Amino acid sequence: MVYNHTTYTLSKNDLKMVKSVPPGGNWKNIPLDIPSKRLEQIRVSGGRTTLYGRLAFEKPSYTITTYFNRPGNGTYIHPIHDRVISAREAARFQSFPDSYVFRGSKGSFCKQIGNAVPPLLAFSIATQIKKKTNTKNLLDLFCGAGGLSLGFGWAGYNIIAANDNFKQACETYRANHEETVLIEGDITDKKIQDQLLEKSKKGKVDIVVGGPPCQGFSHAGKRMIDDPRNFLYKEFVNIVKKIKPKVFVLENVEGIMTINNGKTFEEIKNHFRELGYSVAGHKLHAVQYGVPQKRKRVIIIGTLTGNPEEFFPKPLICDEKNYISTKDAIGDLFHIEVVDQYSPIKITGKPKHFFQKFVRGLISPKEYIKSLS
């Protein structure tokens, strides 16, 4: 069954633009006689080639952001249909299985899915850390809809507790992680922190993971060095300081490496070094780990013992020709009609790719990863 296969309404003008863009095309294909002040600005400034983009059959998706409901904000036009991709199709590009049901409003799906860590990327990281350490009990901070928890859970970790302040993402997390204690609330609140510390102590947490908000670091929008959300990573540092786990994993956007001429990135790592951790940070390309999406993320790993460089997984796919394509990811949904946000739909027909088998629950994440070799 497929859930959340719902799309978003387009204006008449947006629909005209969408219809003029071929697979693999973008704003450059839109005729001049379609009025749009934004397009006029893009033509003058030479906007990114991903804007008003239509997905190409044989290539992966570009980064799924929190604006995949808007054709002008990226490459979100369906390869066949004259609409933007559905929430379920976006979730597949993020590597969420079809059984993972998103809760909340249809509008919130964009934020929940766009901000998530691809579970398959998390799985590769978790599997490698598992090989190098005896960690098993995990705390997930800034958990959102649960991408990190899902991937680490697949690798055999016990998710002891999680925290987020986004109500609708918390609804989704609870629906899909029933055995995990979710402490909903602002992590800057001492009461929330005390609850997290209490659960972590009882659960013998030995690894802390999380993706603090990253809007101020992102290349996708205005990069604001003084954005207050930039400093929430310090709450992550504070929790690590008090729990002193064997390992921590911090995920963020690639822009964190270059903002403030790289000083912010070094400052973050130094905060953990002052706590006694050996720290390493690298940019990982999700498409190289079986995710059908060109999504780059920075992963910072710290450890009290051992070399953190050894905790990073090696790429599974190094040749672009072997990347999981749009057709591989959502081809079996091409002729499934979109519905309202919660109605389940039965998929007819056999899966035609290992990725489709994986998201439909016919093979495990481990079996899918083996299929890539």
What pLDDT, on the 0 to 100 scale, is given for residue 214? 61
For residue 115, count CB atoms less than 10 angstroms from its CB and return exposed for 0-12, middle for 13-18, buried for 19 or more.
buried
The one catalytic residue among 110, 143, 170, 214:
214
Q: Which amino acid is at 101?
A: V
| Of 62-71, 124-133, 254-263, minimum mean pLDDT range | 254-263
Question: What is the rounded CA–CA span in Å between residue 204 and residue 201?
Answer: 5
Largest CA distance in the chain: 65
Instruction: Provide, for the chain, the percentages of residues in helix, strand and coil under a 3-state DSSP scheme, each rounded to the nearest 5.
Output: 40, 15, 45
- ∠ Cα 206 212 214 (to 5°): 150
Tokens 């990069």 sit on residue: 223
If you average pLDDT over every residue of the chain, what do you get?
93
Q: List, for residues 57-112, the tens digit of each pLDDT value.
A: 999 999 999 999 999 999 999 999 999 999 999 999 999 999 999 999 999 999 99
Q: Give, to the nearest 10 degrees, the angle between helix 233-243 and helix 263-273.
A: 10
What pLDDT, on the 0 to 100 scale, is given for residue 218? 46
Q: Domain boundaries in the chain?
A: 12-93+325-371, 119-311
What pLDDT, on the 0 to 100 scale, is given for residue 341? 67
Would the pLDDT of 151 be above 70? yes
Question: What is the rounded CA–CA span in Å between residue 88 and residue 73?
Answer: 18
Would the pLDDT of 26 be above 50? yes
Strand pairing class (247-253; 207-210):
parallel
pLDDT-based confidence at residue 215 (cuts at 50, 70, 90):
low
pTM for this predicted structure: 0.94
pLDDT-based confidence at residue 223 (cuts at 50, 70, 90):
very low
Within 13 A of 81's CA, how many CA atoms are on the CB side? Answer: 18
Q: List, for residues 263-317, the tens digit of each pLDDT value.
A: 889 999 999 999 999 999 999 999 999 999 999 999 999 999 999 999 999 999 9
Tokens 């071929």 sit on residue: 22
Would the pLDDT of 45 be above 90? no
Residue 252: alpha-carbon gap to chain centroid:
10
Catalytic annotation on 214? yes
What pLDDT, on the 0 to 100 scale, is given for residue 373? 81
For residue 213, count CB atoms less than 10 angstroms from its CB and return exposed for 0-12, middle for 13-18, buried for 19 or more.
buried
Q: Which amino acid is at 113?
A: I
According to DSSP, residue 24 is labeled: T
Question: How many Å is the Cα radius of gyration of the chain?
Answer: 20
Residue 141 and residue 236 in contact, taking contact as beta carbons nearer than 8 Å: yes
What pLDDT, on the 0 to 100 scale, is given for residue 230? 58
What pLDDT, on the 0 to 100 scale, is given for residue 229? 53
Would the pLDDT of 131 be above 60? yes
DSSP letter for each residue of 166-184? -HHHHHHHHHH-TTSEEEE
Question: What is the rounded CA–CA span in Å between residue 333 and residue 330?
Answer: 5
3-state secondary structure 207-244: EEEECCCCHHHCCCCCCCCCCHHHHHHHHHHHHHHHHC
Q: What phi and psi values does residue 166 have, to the nearest 5 degrees?
A: -95, 105
Collapsed DSSP state (helix, strand, coil) of residue 311: helix
Strand pairing class (296-303; 278-285):
antiparallel
Tell me which of 232 and 289 has the higher pLDDT.
289
- The CA–CA distances, whole Å, from 112 to 79, 153, 314 equal 23, 19, 28
119-311: CATH, from 3.30.465.10, 3.30.420.40, 3.30.300.30, 3.40.50.150: 3.40.50.150
What pLDDT, on the 0 to 100 scale, is given for residue 340? 74
Residue 172: alpha-carbon gap to chain centroid:
14
Q: Kindly state the average pLDDT of the residues 312-332.
A: 96
* 195, containing H or E segment: helix 190-202
pLDDT-based confidence at residue 260 (cuts at 50, 70, 90):
confident
- ∠ Cα 89 167 95 (to 5°): 25
pLDDT-based confidence at residue 261 (cuts at 50, 70, 90):
confident
Question: What is the rounded CA–CA span in Å between residue 164 and residue 118?
Answer: 17
Collapsed DSSP state (helix, strand, coil) of residue 188: coil
Tell me which of 89 and 347 has the higher pLDDT.
89
